[in-house]
Amino acid sequence: MVEISGIMPVVDELDSAIIRELQADARQSNRELARKLGIAPSTCLERVRSLTHRGVIRGYHAEIDLTALNRGVQAFIAVQVRPLSRAVIDAFKDAVRGMPEVLAVFVLAGGDDFQLHVAVQDLDHLHSFLVDRLSKRREIVSFRSSVIYQREHNNVLSPLPAD
């Protein structure tokens, strides 16, 4: 772990290797992880604990197939709200985060105030969500939806080099 002039410590090569391995398979034992990395299990355990304590590792999650949960249609919804104030932003964020269709809420700068990632059964349910749920909210002045045809994402992230 390296500290750069008072900035939060960054991860070193061993931390990066641990992170990479855990992202690929978080269910592996500490002993197996240590063996793959060529380090002592006690060193490995201490490094994982440190990464967790520092907030680099925030949890372990199962990746779920949305189609298996009857959520075969995903969309992004760009939303503008007014008046633009912290109270309105926080209330809207909390309200949509509690909707079962919403997977993620992003607060944005620029033309749109929010980006919602939703997953629903089909296009009829997406339309119903937009018309019957979102359009009823008084603070929304406009929204646009974009259906997601395919989703690919990186399962394993590495730290970017510090400048």
pLDDT reading at 98 higher than 90: yes
Percent of the chain at pLDDT > 90 equals 82
Phi-psi bin for 6: left (phi > 0), alpha (psi -120 to 50), beta? left
pLDDT for position 161: 80
pLDDT reading at 3 higher than 70: no
- How far apart are the C-alpha atoms of 137 and 88, rounded to whole Å? 11
When the pLDDT of each residue in the chain is averaged and rounded to a whole number, the result is 92
**Residue whose pair of structure tokens reads 């992202």 in the numeric block:** 23
pLDDT for position 9: 60
pLDDT for position 1: 45
Question: Domain 8-53 maps to which CATH number in 1.10.287.3510, 1.10.10.10, 1.10.274.10, 1.10.1040.10?
Answer: 1.10.10.10
- According to the 3-state scheme, what is the secondary structure of 19-44? HHHHHHCCCCCHHHHHHHHCCCHHHH
Question: Domain 66-148 maps to which CATH number in 3.30.70.60, 1.25.40.20, 3.30.70.920, 3.40.718.10?
Answer: 3.30.70.920
- How far apart are the C-alpha atoms of 24 and 118, rounded to whole Å? 26
Q: Domain extents for the chain? A: 8-53, 66-148
Structure tokens at 153: 């994402």
The number of helix segments (H) and strand segments (E) in the chain equals 5, 6
pLDDT reading at 68 higher than 60: yes
- How far apart are the C-alpha atoms of 92 and 82, rounded to whole Å? 10
Query: What is the per-residue pLDDT across 4-59, written as a single tens digit (0 to 9) for each?
Result: 444 556 789 999 999 999 999 999 999 999 999 999 999 999 999 999 999 999 99
- Per the DSSP assignment, residues forming a β-bridge with 119 are 74
pLDDT band at 138 (very low <50, low <70, confident <90, very high): very high
Q: Is 7 helix (H, G, I), strand (E, B) or coil?
A: strand
Asked if 9 and 50 count as a contact pair (C-beta separation under 8 A), the reply is no
Alpha helices in the chain (DSSP H): 13-24, 30-37, 41-53, 86-97, 123-128
- How far apart are the C-alpha atoms of 140 and 116, rounded to whole Å? 13
